[in-house]
Amino acid sequence: MPHERFSLEWDHPFLPNAATHVSLFDGGKEPMNIVASGHGSSEAYALRDLLATLKERRESPDAIAFVTEECQARAGQPPATRATDESVRR
C-alpha cells in the first residue's frame, strides 16, 4: 500500500502560544526526505496547513490522500477546504 511509505513527525511547542509543527516524510525515497511541512495553533490546524501546502504545490495524490486520512482520523470528519488559523502568522 502506498500510504505505508509516508510518516508524520511532530514538533509540539513548549512555550505558550507557539505553533505546532508537522512534517510529512516520504520513506519511499532514499534518503528519506521531507515532502512538506505545516504549522498551526493545534495539531488539527497544522495538518490542515500541511494539506493546503501539498495541494498548492501539486504534490503526489498518495501524499495528499495520506494527510487527508490523517485529518479525518484525528477530527472524525473530512478536513476543511482551507484552514484559517488566525493565531499563527507566517
Top pLDDT among 29 and 59 is at: 59
Residue 85 falls inside a structural domain: no
Residue 84 falls inside a structural domain: no
pLDDT for position 89: 42
* Nine cell digits for residue 90: 507566517
Sign of the CA dihedral 57, 18, 67, 24?
positive
pTM: 0.77
Q: Where are the beta strands (DSSP E) in the chain?
A: 6-11, 20-26, 33-40
* Length of the chain measured in residues: 90
CATH number reported for the structural domain that contains residue 14 in this entry:
3.30.160
Q: 24 and 37 in contact (C-beta within 8 Å)?
A: yes
* Nine cell digits for residue 44: 488539527
Whether residue 84 is predicted with pLDDT greater than 80 in this model: the reply is: no
* Nine cell digits for residue 6: 509516508
Q: 83 and 48 in contact (C-beta within 8 Å)?
A: yes
Quote the CA–CA distance of 77 and 90 in Å, as a whole number.
26
Q: What is the number of domains present in the chain?
A: 1
Q: Tell me the per-residue pLDDT of 45-76, one tens digit each, with 9 for 90 and over.
A: 999 999 999 999 999 999 999 999 998 888 77
pLDDT for position 3: 56
pLDDT for position 1: 45
Q: Tell me the per-residue pLDDT of 1-27, one tens digit each, with 9 for 90 and over.
A: 455 789 999 998 888 889 999 999 988
Report residue 32's pLDDT band, with 50, 70 and 90 as the boundaries.
confident
Domain that holds residue 7: 2-75
Average pLDDT (15-41) is 87
